[in-house]
Amino acid sequence: MGRPRRDWAMTEQHWKLLELISGFPSHLVTDRNILHMMWTQAGLLGMEQDTMYRMVKLKYGLTFAKFRQQNSGMSRAKILAKQFEVAMKGNPAMLIWLGKQYLGQKENPEDLVAAASEKYEPPIGLTDPVPIAT
């Protein structure tokens, strides 16, 4: 016979935090990292990983892996929306990046070389060819 089960009272704020941090890419944030963030940020110190999995299953009817996958898609959409917002405010770097990502735009290396050579002016005295001794 084990110890009595602890009743974890997760507030709506706890669930929002869990949704937010579970949306981080899994190659950057593991399930254990998420649990640690819930301990430190939400004051749920001592919650076990299996408990977190079980609570997600009870609330959302999803495995934790499906829950993360669903929230990952939402996080990507939020990031993309923010990037568009920044670009539409006139951020040239963001406009260029989005153009490359979504419109297939690219910098032609030949155009870059031509533009660079047009701007280049050799120092005075170095414009004449140097005679090569034979």
pLDDT tens digits, 78-127: 777 888 888 889 888 888 888 888 777 787 777 666 666 666 565 665 55
Q: What's the pTM?
A: 0.47
Domains of the chain, by residue range, sit at 12-118
Q: Name, in order, each residue with C-beta under 8 angstroms of 18's C-beta and a sequence gap of 6 or more.
A: 10, 34, 38, 42, 52, 56
Amino acid in the structure at residue 62: L
What is the Cα–Cα distance from 119 to 59, expressed in whole angstroms? 63
What is the Cα–Cα distance from 71 to 22, expressed in whole angstroms? 6
Count the neighbouring beta carbons within 10 Å of the beta carbon of residue 51.
15
